[in-house]
Amino acid sequence: MKRIAVVPGSFDPVTLGHLDVISRAAGLYDEVHVLVVHNPDKAALLPIAQRVALLEQSIAEAEVRGTVIVASWSMGLLVDYVTEVGAQVLVKGIRSQIDVAYETPMAIVNRHLAGVETIFMLPDPSHAHVSSSLVRQVANLGGDISPYVPPAVARFLQR
Ligand code: PNS
78 Cα to the center of ligand 1, angstroms: 7
- Total structural domains in the chain? 1
The residue to mutate among 33, 106, 110, having the most atoms of ligand 1 within 8 angstroms of its beta carbon, is: 106
Domain with 62 in it: what CATH number? 3.40.50.620
Burial class (CB in 10 A: 0-12, 13-18, 19+), 87: buried
- Supply the range of the domain harboring residue 30: 4-157
Q: Which one of the listed residues 10, 23, 58, 132 is annotated catalytic?
A: 132
Q: CA of 4: how far to CAs of 67, 90, 134, 150, in Å?
A: 10, 9, 30, 25
pLDDT over threshold 90, residue 75: no
What pLDDT is attached to residue 93? Answer: 97
Question: pLDDT tens for residues 9-43?
Answer: 999 999 999 999 999 999 999 999 999 999 989 89
Binned at pLDDT 50, 70 and 90, residue 91 comes out as: very high
Does residue 92 carry a catalytic annotation? Answer: no
CB 24 within 8 A of CB 92: no
Does residue 95 carry a catalytic annotation? Answer: yes
What pLDDT is attached to residue 158? Answer: 84
Q: 0.75 exceeded by the pTM?
A: yes
What pLDDT is attached to residue 159? Answer: 78
Mean pLDDT of 64-78: 96
Question: pLDDT tens for residues 122-131?
Answer: 989 999 999 9
Q: Is 94 in the pocket of ligand 1 (CB under 6 A)?
A: no
Atom of ligand 1 nearest to the CA of 106: 22
Question: pLDDT tens for residues 94-104?
Answer: 999 999 999 99
Binned at pLDDT 50, 70 and 90, residue 146 comes out as: very high
Does residue 51 carry a catalytic annotation? Answer: no
